[in-house]
Each structure stands twice: as C-alpha cells, then as structure tokens.
Amino acid sequence: MTENDKPGNDPNENPAETRQGDEQNAAAQTQKQGIDPVRKWTFILLAATVILLAWYLVSDRLVPSTSQARVHALVVPVAPEVSGTVISVEVRNNQRVGAGEKLFHIDPERYQLAVETAEADLQTARQAMGASSANVSAAKATLVSAKASLVRAEKDAARFTRIREEDPGAISLRRIESAEASLEAAKGQVEAAEANVEKARQDLGKTGEQNSRILQARSALAQATLNLERTIVRAPEDGLVTDVRVNKGNYANASAPQMTFIALDNIWVQADFTENNLGHIRAGNQARLVFDALPGKVFSGKVRELGFGVSVDSAPLGSLPTIENNRDWLRSAQRYPVLIDFDIQDRQLASRLRVGSQVTVVVHTGENALLNTLANLQLWFNSILTYAY
C-alpha cells in the first residue's frame, strides 16, 4: 500500500465531509460514555448549594441555634457587715459549702464588750424608770396635801367672813384679809402640784417595757447582739466559694468583699440569639445543649424567658451625639439574651461545669420532626467535635 492509499490521505476526499464525520463519531462516542462528568458535578454542587441554603434559611427560623452561649449563676461577693481583725478562715478556695456554714470569723472581743455595755444601759434605764415612777407618786402626794390645805383655807376664809358679818367687832379686817391671802396661796400650791404631777408623768412616759428609755436601751442591746453575731460570716445557701482573698490576721472592713460565693442551685444558660432567630422562640420551648466542658454529651433544657433589651451606647445629657462613620454594606447582627434552664442529674458531671463555660444551643420552636431530627444530628456531631477543640 502506498502513502496515497492510507485512510484520510485520499486527494479526492472532501474536508467538510471529513469534519462532519468526525463530529458524528465524537457525539456517538459521548453518547456511549454517558453525561459529561463536568456538567454532572456542576449540577450536583448547584443542587447541594440550593438545598443547604434552603435548610439554613428554614432551620434558622424554626430550629435556631447559636454557639454564643455561656453558663451563668448567681455570683455574690462575700463581705462582712462589721469591721475587725480576722481570727480564723474556715474555707479554702473553690470549696463547696452548705447553707449557714462558717466562712471566716472576726475578732468578737469589742463586740462582746458592746453587748455587756448595752445590757448595763438597759438595767440603768429600768432603774431610771423606777425613779421616775417614784417621782410621779411623790408629786401626786404633794398634790393631795395641797388640795387639803386649799380646803382648810377655804373653810377658814368662809368662817371668818361669816363671823364678821354676824359681829363686825369679833374679827378684825386684817384677819379676814390674811385668811383670803392664805386661800389664794393654797390655790396656787394646788396648781403648782398639778403641774408637777404632769411633768413627772411626762418624764416617766409609758410604763413597763414600753417605756421609751427601756425601748431605746433594748434596741441598742439588740444592735450590739446582732453585731456580735455578724462577726461570724456564714454562707447564705448551698454553693461554692472562690477567689478567697482573706487570711488570719487580715483586717476586714465592713462591706469590703473578702471572697466570692456562687449559688450552684440556681444555674442557667444565657444564649445570645440574633434578632431574626427570635421570631418563633417562646418561653417553655424545648432546647438541646452541648457544653464544651462535657464533650460527647447532649443535654435537655427549657427556655425560661427572652431578653427584652440590651445596652446601647448613648450620649449623656448636654453633649452631642456620636455618629459612627460606618459604610459597610453588611452590618453586624444584634443579639438578644435567651435564658435557658437545665438540670444535670449526674452530680459528678454537673460539678465539671464552670460559670462562664461555653455552650452550643438549639431551640425546638415546634413539632417539626424532620427539622428537629436534623438539628439534633448536627448538635450531636458538634458534641463529638468538642473532644478536639
């Protein structure tokens, strides 16, 4: 065979017909091999993107989730209500304590002396009340005597006047005037005695334990006793003490915190959801929680309440407002707190939680079986990932 006899080298062959034949052969070959892989995977990726976008938009409303959540508890600074030198500290840092358990003790000596002084003052007040009562009795006796003198003076004046009327020469005018003067003096003595009785009663006040001096002394004694009791600082309820900054020999000022108390019986999760997540969340909705401190485990919770407002920067009165020069196309989403209650029955697991521990939260806003299941699967996967980060 010569070179001109090889296929494709026929000088009489038409190039257009040859190209058309090649295209037909390529189309036939492609049809035999199936759909183009590039087009196939492009379609798959596009479909997956649409599905994921739809899932995100729907789930973000019906099963909202957030990783911006932390464990919170009531945190109370422990400060003494009286000042003094610390003579003993009964707890160590991060120790669990029971309600009423002794935390530290302030030197009670001067407060004990104050109690003894108040007791003596109370006794003095009772004695003073007795003296005031005696003064009232004495004033009353003086009043009785003055009234008797008045009666006698009235009788003398009346008798002398009658005798003079019957016999003008029997009694002199001077004697009559002296009797009338004695009568006026007796009246003045009665008025003075009545005033003394009223003054003695005012000085005495109420009788018995309702006497003002006794009430004041009893109040001072109660305050001194309370201050003495306050030299022992106790735990307000069951919880944990941390940040212990007091030691024996330190001088503790009243109202100055010496340690921090955390109430472990009242712990909740604060989950910060974006505004567009809140549309379907209601108090009582079920929630699922994953704690970073407890990897591999998913816990149940319930929405307690939704926050109504958050703090924003505002200019004080009398000043000009501050305007942010922000020209970004997309602004940061505003978040609001959602409080979630939970209860971990296993105390050993619960003890591993810390105030401020990070949490991932999913809220089931309705009976959406498919969405709830998918959200739970995603949360379970996140719980596994917490082993690694």
- The DSSP string of 139-157 is HHHHHHHHHHHHHHHHHHH
Q: Are residues 198 and 134 in the same domain?
A: yes
- How many CA atoms does the CB half-sphere of 310 hold within 13 Å? 12
Instruction: Count how many domains the chain has.
Output: 3
In angstroms, how far is CA 188 from the centroid of its own chain? 68
* Tokens describing residue 95: 């120790």
Do residues 73 and 132 both lie within one domain? no
One domain, residues 196 and 271: no
Whole-number pLDDT of residue 208: 59
b/e burial code for range 277-299 (CB count within 10 A of at least 16 → b): bbeebeeebebbbbbbebeeebb
> Do residue 341 and residue 372 come from a single domain?
yes
Do both 222 and 235 map to the same domain?
A: no
Confirm whether 48 is domain-assigned.
no
Q: Is residue 33 in a domain?
A: no
- Dihedral angle sign, alpha carbons of residues 198, 201, 206, 208: negative
Q: Which pLDDT does position 159 carry in this prediction? A: 75
Residues 98 and 124 in one domain: no
What averages of pLDDT result for each successive group of 10 residues across the chain (389 residues)?
Answer: 48 55 56 67 86 76 92 94 96 93 96 94 76 67 76 75 71 73 78 74 63 82 95 94 94 95 91 91 95 94 92 71 71 89 85 91 90 89 89
Token pair of 366 as six digits: 């309705």
201 and 270 part of one domain: no
pLDDT at res. 134: 66
Task: For residue 285, tell me if it sits in a domain.
Answer: yes
The answer to whether residues 91 and 247 touch, using CB atoms and an 8 Å cutoff, is no
As a whole number of angstroms, the longest Cα–Cα distance in the chain is 202
Alpha-carbon dihedral sign for residues 224, 226, 229, 235: negative
Asked whether residue 96 is assigned to any structural domain, the reply reads yes
In a domain, 257, yes or no: no
Q: Are residues 216 and 246 in the same domain?
A: no
Confidence at residue 24, expressed as pLDDT on a 0 to 100 scale: 60
Question: 350: domain CATH number?
Answer: 2.40.30.170
Q: Is residue 91, in this structure, part of any structural domain at all?
A: yes
Same domain, 338 and 371: yes
Provide the 3-class DSSP secondary structure of residue 105: strand
Take residue 257 and report the two structure tokens written for it.
């915190």
Q: For residue 248, give the nearest of 107, 80, 109, 112 by alpha carbon.
A: 107
Instruction: Return the pLDDT at 2.
Output: 47
- Per-residue pLDDT, 26: 54
Does 291 lie in the same domain as 197? Answer: no
140 and 156, same domain (yes or no): yes
Instruction: Read off the CATH number of the domain in which 137 is found.
Output: 1.10.287.620
Tell whether 93 is covered by a domain.
Answer: yes
One domain, residues 166 and 205: yes
- Domain of 166, in residue numbers: 110-227
**Per-residue pLDDT, 69:** 96
Return the pLDDT at 1. Answer: 46
